[in-house]
Amino acid sequence: MFKFIARRILQSIIVLFVITTVTFFMVHAAPGDPFSAERKMPEHIKQRLMEHYGLDKPEIVQYFHYVGSLLKGDLGPSHVETRSVNRIIGTTFPVSLELGSWALLIALGIGLPVGIIAAVFRNTLADYIPMSMAMIGICLPTFVLGPVLALIFGVWLGWFNVSGWFIPADRVLPALTIGLVYAAIIARITRGGMLEVLNQDFIRTAKAKGVPFPRIIFFHTLKGGLLPVISFLGPALAGIISGSFVVETIFQIPGMGRQFVQSAFNRDYALVMGTVIVYACLIIVANLLVDIVQVILNPRLRFEDS
Amino acid sequence: MSKNPQLSPSEKRLPDVPVDLDAIESGTSLWQDAWHRLRKNHMALISFWVLVFMVIFCFVGPFLTSHDFRSNDLEKTLLSPSSQHWFGTDDLGRDQLTRVMIGGRVSLGVGIIATTVSLLIGVTYGATAAYIGGKVDASMMRLVDVLYALPFTIFVILLMTLFERSIVLLFIVIGAVEWLTMARIVRGQVLSIKKQEFVEAAVSLGYSTRRIILRHIIPNVLGVVVVYATLTVPSVMLLESFLSFLGLGVQPPMPSWGSLIKLGADNIQLYPYLLVIPALFFSLTLFSLNFLGDGLRDALDPKSSKD
Amino acid sequence: MNVSKAALWRSLTWAAVVTASLFLSGCGQGVPDVDEGVERGILLAGNGAEPKSLDPQRATGVTENKIISSLIEGLIAYHPTDDTLPEPGVAESWEPNEDASVWTFKIRDDAFWSNGDPVTARDFVYSYQRMLDPAFPGEYAQMLYQLRNGEAYKTGEITEFSKVGVSAVDDKTLRMELVGPTPYFLDMLKHYSWYPVHPATIEAHGGPLDLSGEWTLPGNFVGNGPFVLEDWLPNQYIRVVKSPTYWDREMMRLNEIYFYSVEDVNTEKRMFDSGLLHTTSTVPTNDIPILRETRPDIIHIDPYLGTYFYRLNVTRAPLDNPLVRKALNLSIDRQAVVDKVTLGGQTPTRAYVPAGFNDYPTPDLISYDPERARTLLAEAGYPGGEGFPELYLLFNTSEGHRKIAEAVVDMWNTNLGINMQLENKEWKVYLDAQTHLDYDVSRSGWIGDYMDPVTFLEMFTTGNGNNDTGWSDARYDELIHKAFRSPNQEAHYASLLEAENILLDELPIVPVYWYTRIYLQDPRVRNWNPKLLDNRPYKYIYLSE
């Protein structure tokens, strides 16, 4: 197993390098620059700014300079905001992490049980009703669910603040907005995965042998049902944690999701690079974890790298 | 052995197609059985007809309404549903009924085409990677990792500026992003199937890799693929609405369900019909797609039984 | 018994516990609500986008200015009710010479920086030298070109700052020599590009050319205004508290201000509705008519010094033909746009420069006459719109711009029989296209920097960075140049009027409406007066039942 992890880490470094390079040139290829604004800057002033940030040099030179400082752990100054990229990410990432964790908790806490129940009581009301409600989670975009929740629970009932990230209760509405959507998806995937297993021969054998049903569920089926969920969670985790732009905008949350999108729109090259690199690391780690867990849960798989 | 009277005439029509016992054996009976099972699934049938209605509604409907989706009427803005405007009017006085129909064309079109594209690419890619395994698998999946991590927003902006705005571009952009997850899921599934006996049997029988992948592996992966495809269509349609939210979606005055829902979400308090109606159509379509997908999955699963 | 049921119960219980603890810890606000704000003298203001910089010499936006003007005071401050009148700020008195080309300011004795240092004339000299330094990227540096040799110093023509027309006669007396008579100089001085910065603070954080912005962060920021910077939580709020050293602090009844950076207009509205804001930066368009009817006590519509217009790329046919441009101008029903589309009580334009300047006689040359428009179009060679190429109207992504663009394009197509299309581009791409004249018609807007029509008209001189139309007229350039050096107000306005008439004859633009500021406000906010430039002195504002 350790050889596997070591090999994966090596591969990950290459992947990260490729991502950094491709993103760098992609971002610089997009028309516009960090300094253009509605009121035009006199040319020579713009020239000064470009010089200050090293943006007047050829792209290749800029690239090597960036990689150089990257290796030292410095993500550079933001081209648009006042703080450095390190500081911006340092303050926004934990927020997104926290929001994502709560959302994930809600998603798993609602999605797994619902999916399991629906699979077990398949094709009865206990299947149709929860799955239909789960459908609502999938069908409503966050930019509809969020304002609706904020309106009902924030403005009309006054139970929560409509926006902000100041007190613990502020976590509820945004986490629910993201969590409900993922709960629905997880419910469906769990149900699907569980059904796959429930239909297999060895389950029928166990039933015929008289093994009590709950035990069948827990010991035999659950693992099989969880596998596709874990497959799905890998990339989804990174997505949830790196923040949802929409939810952060609607609820005024100082998270990384907003930076991810805003920096692209602002052509804040350094911040785009910074957020992409963090996001990429997250995905790589998440995928690695998912692959490891998959093998643990399914002993028939080996660490598929040799 | 299954009796299939349809086979002889087709055989006669295309004499140069080699008779494939393999296909006769597993291909036809699987699909026929599936069709039978599907027809008995009431929810799936209802969903199917709902979808048919949606398609007709969106693609034929606009010819039947007396309004154009583009014509503003500043005297008649933000009217609630009435006999003249069944779904009311929007903030520029345009007929919402027609706009929901036209919007449906865009959303359904994007949903179906982009999902199909991502399915084709994703399934083939994931299955191949998993089946071949080893270093090839590793590099293929690392490539997926790279593509996954690239910033979507920048990617879209770049494409939009390089290729001008058009609906086709939208399809490509969305399809190009969705196949990644599909590939990953399929790979996971194939990895577990690969170890099963019938595959080892096929290998020992000397079948080519391509044949094993196409004829043995993929049909067994279909269950998960179908379920995930039915999750992809909503995801694609939502992605389109997210693009509209960012202003990178379809060019106005062309509506899509995503942009209509966005407009509705901004006006929930005062003009709820602007949200409720497009959202209803959107949700109904997705519901139907999902139940149909469930039905397909149940029907296609060779091991599923009615107990 | 049932392992799965147990697992289920476990997760449910856990979820309940977590939720309960969230609720319980939810007691206590974190930020004040409106009632607490009234009680404790804390103003909660929605401020739009997150400010990029709090350095007055690098800031460029309205949102930044609102915060900066609470932290720093210039020689002349904002008047509480009338934007055309000067209000003594750091300067307690001033004296122009006979032709208003040399101004002497007396700095008050009790003006102090927030760290206790007295405000001196040398602080201003230092600040202007920083702004005019050739290596300093201050976007509004051009404002300081009004100083004699200011432009020369900036472009590097001269290298001794002592030759620039600003000097400290003594600690409390500042003298400024201008390029020519500038009767409206006091209006110019209200702009934040003329604000002073604290030299010692700048020096302590990398010097005048350091662009990291370190000195603007809480804990480092030193200003001379009614408030000091206490907190800066990015994308959440900026909090300022009453300054212990401000010369007029005795009369201030406001203790703190929270500037919330809320970008989404619907979120801002929800914050207002749920009692988290006293005043907002804007109102969602479709809510305006209903609010005007049902809640006139909270919705405010104030005239605002700005013009919404479309630029025409005169380097592209058929827009190079003045008849076509006139036709386009005559075929928009601006009243309908304002009444049915923007809904914000705006004024349809009669000219380009907004009405509202004392004595400036706003021309009445823009109107709606579709008949005449069609005649002109036919004259130009496109009878009934036949043969007219398919043009694109470019706008940047925004619900508001989209709505107006859709309405206007529809009017053009219907009235003229042409086939105009819409082109929605993302912000930076849109800016890029406009700068490189890669468009046909482009949505634009301009807000006045100070109370003089020249701030609207100078942008259309040849080669001006903000022209972006390709239009050029030698006589126009001459008149603007003359206006900057007019001996008195009348001559100044006369030159500007003649220039505007040329502009309205040639029409490289299509003015649509004059802005209004629309916002929601808690009736308990007092002394908040409508201002044409929307600049108000926070020291006069207070909250009470």
| pLDDT tens-digit map of C254-299 | 999 999 999 899 999 999 999 999 999 999 999 999 999 999 999 9
What is the mean pLDDT of the segment spanning A64-90?
A: 88
Please give the pLDDT value at position C354: 93
Contact residues, C window 276-315, toward A, CB-based 8 Å cutoff: 276
Which of C518, C475, C520 is CA-nearest to residue C498? C475
pLDDT 10s digits, C238-266: 999 999 999 999 999 999 999 999 989 99
Please state, as a whole number, how many other Cβ atoms lie within 10 Å of the Cβ of residue C85. Answer: 14
Cα–Cα distance for residue pair C167/A261, rounded to 1 Å: 47
pLDDT 10s digits, A21-50: 988 988 888 888 888 888 888 788 888 888
pLDDT at C27 over 90: no
Cα–Cα distance for residue pair C127/C193, rounded to 1 Å: 10
Q: Which two tokens stand for residue C375?
A: 């005649």
Cβ separation B223–A192 shorter than 8 A: yes
Q: At what angle do helices C322-330 and C370-379 cross, to 10 degrees?
A: 160
- A118 to chain C, closest Cα gap in Å: 13
Please give the pLDDT value at position C5: 56
Chains in contact with C via at least 3 Cβ–Cβ pairs below 8 Å: A, B
Please give the pLDDT value at position A154: 92
Whether chain A has a CB inside 8 Å of the CB on C317: the answer is no
Cα–Cα distance for residue pair B205/C228, rounded to 1 Å: 82
DSSP alpha helices (H): ranges in chain A? 2-29, 43-52, 59-71, 85-120, 125-139, 142-149, 172-198, 201-209, 213-215, 222-241, 245-250, 256-266, 269-297
Give the range among A212-226, B58-72, C531-545 with minimum mean pLDDT. A212-226
Cβ separation A231–B188 shorter than 8 A: yes
pLDDT at C15 over 80: no
pLDDT at B194 over 80: no
Q: What angle do CA C69, C74, C78 make, to 5 degrees?
A: 60
Higher-pLDDT residue of C121 and A290 is C121
Spatial contact of A71 and A17, defined as CB atoms under 8 Å apart: no
Identity of the highest mean pLDDT range in A29-38, B27-36, B150-159, C110-119: C110-119
Give the range among A263-267, B240-244, B285-289, C457-461 with minimum mean pLDDT. B240-244
**Where does residue A96 rank: exposed (0-12), middle (13-18), buried (19+ CB within 10 A)?**
buried
Which of B72, B269, B270 is nearest residue C407 as measured by Cβ atoms?
Answer: B72
HSE-up of residue A232 (Cα within 13 Å, Cβ side):
25
pLDDT at C11 over 80: no
Q: What is the DSSP string of C89-144?
A: SSEEEEEE-TTSSEEEEEEPTT-B-TTSPBP-HHHHHHHHHHHH-TT---TTGGGG
pLDDT at B8 over 70: no
Cβ separation B266–C266 shorter than 8 A: yes
DSSP state for residue A92 in the 8-state scheme: H
Which of B132, B148, B262, B266 has the most A C-beta neighbours within 10 Å, making it the best mutation to test the interface with A? B148
Higher-pLDDT residue of B92 and B11 is B92
Spatial contact of B233 and A132, defined as CB atoms under 8 Å apart: no
What is the mean pLDDT of the segment spanning C309-332?
A: 94
Please give the pLDDT value at position C434: 92
Backbone angles phi, psi at C305, to 5 degrees: -80, 80
CATH second-level architecture of A85-305?
Orthogonal Bundle (1.10)
**Percent of chain B topping pLDDT 70:** 81
What is the mean pLDDT of the segment spanning A107-114?
A: 89
Identity of the highest mean pLDDT range in A291-305, B210-224, C5-19, C391-405: C391-405
Chains in contact with A via at least 3 Cβ–Cβ pairs below 8 Å: B, C
Higher-pLDDT residue of C458 and C1 is C458
Contact residues, A window 35-74, toward B, CB-based 8 Å cutoff: none
Whether chain A has a CB inside 8 Å of the CB on C219: the answer is no
Contact residues, C window 425-444, toward A, CB-based 8 Å cutoff: 426-429, 431-432, 435
**Percent of chain C topping pLDDT 90:** 77
pLDDT at C87 over 90: yes
Backbone angles phi, psi at B242, to 5 degrees: -65, -40
Domain boundaries, chain A: 85-305
Q: Which two tokens stand for residue C351?
A: 């000219």
Please state, as a whole number, how many other Cβ atoms lie within 10 Å of the Cβ of residue B289. Answer: 27
Cβ separation C271–A109 shorter than 8 A: no
Contact list, A265 vs chain C (CB under 8 Å): 426-428
Residues in Cβ contact with A3 at an 8 Å cutoff, skipping those fewer than 6 apart: none
A to C CB pairs, distance under 8 Å: 167
Which of A8, C348, C497 is CA-nearest to residue B135? A8
Cα–Cα distance for residue pair A198/A217, rounded to 1 Å: 9
Please give the pLDDT value at position A304: 46
Which of C211, C270, C435 is nearest residue A150 as measured by Cβ atoms?
Answer: C270
Give the range among A184-198, C5-19, C67-81 with minimum mean pLDDT. C5-19
Residues in Cβ contact with C72 at an 8 Å cutoff, skipping those fewer than 6 apart: C56, C192, C195, C196, C197, C223, C224, C225
Distance between start and end Cα atoms, chain B:
25
pLDDT confidence band for B76 (50 / 70 / 90)? confident
Give the range among A228-232, C21-25, C30-34, C158-162 with minimum mean pLDDT. C21-25
Q: Which two tokens stand for residue B246?
A: 């960012």
Which of B132, A162, A5 is CA-nearest to residue C276? A162
pLDDT confidence band for C26 (50 / 70 / 90)? very low
Spatial contact of C376 and C330, defined as CB atoms under 8 Å apart: yes
Contact list, A189 vs chain B (CB under 8 Å): 227-228, 231
Mean pLDDT in chain C?
91
pLDDT confidence band for B16 (50 / 70 / 90)? low
Please give the pLDDT value at position B71: 83
Please give the pLDDT value at position B31: 62
**Percent of chain B topping pLDDT 90:** 11
Give the range among B115-124, C22-31, C251-260 with minimum mean pLDDT. C22-31
Q: For chain C, percent helix, then strand, then coil, each to nearest 5? A: 35, 20, 45
What is the mean pLDDT of the segment spanning C365-382?
A: 93
What is the mean pLDDT of the segment spanning B94-99?
A: 92
Cβ separation A155–C234 shorter than 8 A: no
Higher-pLDDT residue of C409 and A261 is C409
H, E, C per residue of C54-77: CCCCCCCCHHHHHHHHHHCCCCEE
Which of B229, B256, C74, B238 is CA-nearest to residue A145? B238
pLDDT at B307 over 70: no
Cβ separation A195–B303 shorter than 8 A: no
Q: Which two tokens stand for residue B59?
A: 């693609």
C531 three-state secondary structure: coil
pLDDT 10s digits, A147-199: 999 999 999 998 999 999 999 999 999 999 999 888 888 888 888 777 777 77
Quote the radius of gyration of chain A (alpha carbons, Å): 24
Cβ separation B148–A283 shorter than 8 A: yes
Cβ separation B304–A275 shorter than 8 A: no
Biggest alpha carbon distance in chain B? 76
Identity (one letter) of the amino acid at C98?
E
Cβ separation C286–B270 shorter than 8 A: yes
